[in-house]
């Protein structure tokens, strides 16, 4: 089993904030000198099987402008989608499978709501994300089911969930149930938008409001890339799992970003190559 260490900050963070959307739930003081080498060595060696080996106790992560705007962009995407469905009384053009995957992402990522409290901001955002994701699934599959285009929403999600689950078991920061589920959520979020993009490619177009939702969702992940750069430079923090998954997710949006700028912002309808 591969357990990847986090490279942790030089000092405990002073802020009570904790980012709900992003990749790492906590930040620890960075070991120095031989202590740091010892942590890295033991994390990759057979000593990781020793139940007495633990990383240093966590400290809350600091807030920065990229993380805050990323969270707000993520929240805006969710609100745009809910308003689109509710006002139009239709979920046409929306992938229900993508929304189920996002609900699964938030559920597995925020199980720590049952075990810890970090800040009111942290808890509120987590509850909002979970509540809105299940509300969206309810609107698609229950209230406005008659408008749901299941024929075009045909992506095989098991081809995402099963490999992601296996990867989370094999590569994680700590081989424990909560940590594996958190890692699973990070991996799954990076590909959860694929059923939506696949649906757009099959229909050949997307409503303008749907493209705004996708743009805000992609912007959130792009802002988190800058957040990780900020944290590495100012806090010495580096999380390989989160960064690789985030890069994959951002790359999936690149083609969409190009079409959004060249078509939607010019008043044209968006379409993806079939």
pLDDT at 202 (0 to 100): 85
The structural domain count of the chain equals 1
Q: How many residues does the chain have?
A: 274
How confident is the model at residue 24, as a pLDDT? 44
* Other CB atoms within 10 A of residue 156 CB: 10
Query: Where does the pLDDT of residue 207 fall: very low under 50, low under 70, confident under 90, or very high at 90 and above?
Result: confident
Which whole number is the average pLDDT over 35-64?
Answer: 47
* Cβ density class 63-91: b for 16+ within 10 Å, e for less: bbebbebbbbbbbbbbebbbebbeeeebb
94 vs 127: CA distance, rounded Å: 23
Judge whether 47 lies within some domain: no
> Is position 114 within any domain?
yes
User: How do residues 64-118 score in pLDDT, each as one tens digit?
Assistant: 999 999 999 999 999 999 999 999 999 999 999 999 999 999 999 999 998 889 8
> Is the pLDDT reported for residue 44 higher than 80?
no
**Span 163-203, pLDDT tens digits:** 999 999 999 999 999 999 999 999 999 999 999 999 988 88
Any domain includes 141: yes
Task: Report yes or no: 23 and 43 within 8 Å, Cβ to Cβ.
Answer: no
**In the predicted structure, residue 233 carries a pLDDT above the cut 60:** yes
User: What's the token pair of residue 129?
Assistant: 């994300």
**If we measure between CA atoms, which residue out of 246, 215, 212 comes closest to residue 229?**
246
Q: Which of 29-33, 58-62, 79-83, 213-217 has the lowest mean pLDDT?
A: 29-33
By CB neighbour count within 10 A (0-12 exposed, 13-18 middle, 19+ buried), where does 16 fall?
A: middle
- Whether 139 is covered by a domain: the verdict is yes
Asked if residue 232 belongs to a domain, the reply is yes
Q: What is the mean pLDDT of the chain?
A: 81
Domain assignment of residue 115, given as a range = 63-265
Q: For the segment 138-157, what is each residue's pLDDT rounded down to a tens digit?
A: 999 999 999 999 999 999 99
Longest dimension (CA), the chain: 63
Contacts of 204 (CB under 8 A, 6+ apart): 271, 272, 274
Chain centroid to Cα 205, Å, comes to: 25
User: Is 27 contained in some domain?
Assistant: no
Residue 77, phi then psi, degrees to nearest 5: -60, -45
Q: Within a domain: residue 37?
A: no
Place of tokens 């599959």: 141
Q: Is 273 exposed, middle or buried (0-12, 13-18, 19+ CB in 10 A)?
A: exposed
Q: Which residue has the tokens 């689950």?
A: 165
* Residue 107: its H or E element: helix 96-109
To the nearest whole percent, how much of the chain has pLDDT over 90? 54
Residue 42 domain-assigned (yes or no): no
């Amino acid at each position: 089993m591969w357990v990847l260490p986090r490279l942790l900050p030089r000092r405990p963070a002073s802020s009570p904030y904790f980012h709900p959307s992003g990749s790492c739930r906590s930040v620890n003081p960075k070991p120095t000198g031989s202590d740091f080498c010892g942590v890295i060595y033991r994390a990759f060696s057979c000593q990781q099987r020793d139940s007495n080996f633990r990383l240093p106790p966590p400290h809350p992560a600091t807030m920065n402008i990229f993380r805050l705007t990323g969270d707000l962009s993520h929240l805006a995407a969710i609100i745009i989608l809910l308003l689109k469905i509710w006002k139009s009384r239709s979920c046409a053009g929306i992938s229900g499978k993508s929304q189920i995957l996002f609900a699964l992402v938030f559920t597995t990522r925020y199980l720590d709501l049952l075990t810890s409290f970090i800040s009111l901001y942290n808890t509120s955002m987590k509850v909002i994300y979970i509540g809105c994701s299940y509300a969206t699934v309810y609107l698609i599959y229950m209230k406005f089911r008659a408008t749901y285009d299941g024929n075009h929403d045909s992506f095989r999600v098991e081809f995402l969930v099963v490999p992601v689950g296996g990867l989370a078991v094999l590569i994680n920061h700590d081989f424990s149930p909560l940590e594996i589920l958190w890692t699973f959520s990070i991996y799954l979020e990076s590909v959860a938008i694929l059923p939506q993009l696949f649906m757009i490619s099959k229909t050949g177009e997307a409503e303008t409001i749907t493209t705004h939702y996708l743009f805000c969702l992609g912007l959130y992940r792009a802002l988190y890339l800058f957040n990780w750069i900020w944290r590495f430079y100012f806090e010495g923090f580096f999380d390989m799992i989160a960064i690789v998954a985030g890069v994959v997710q951002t790359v999936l949006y690149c083609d969409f970003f190009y079409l959004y700028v060249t078509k939607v912002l010019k008043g044209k309808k968006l379409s993806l190559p079939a």
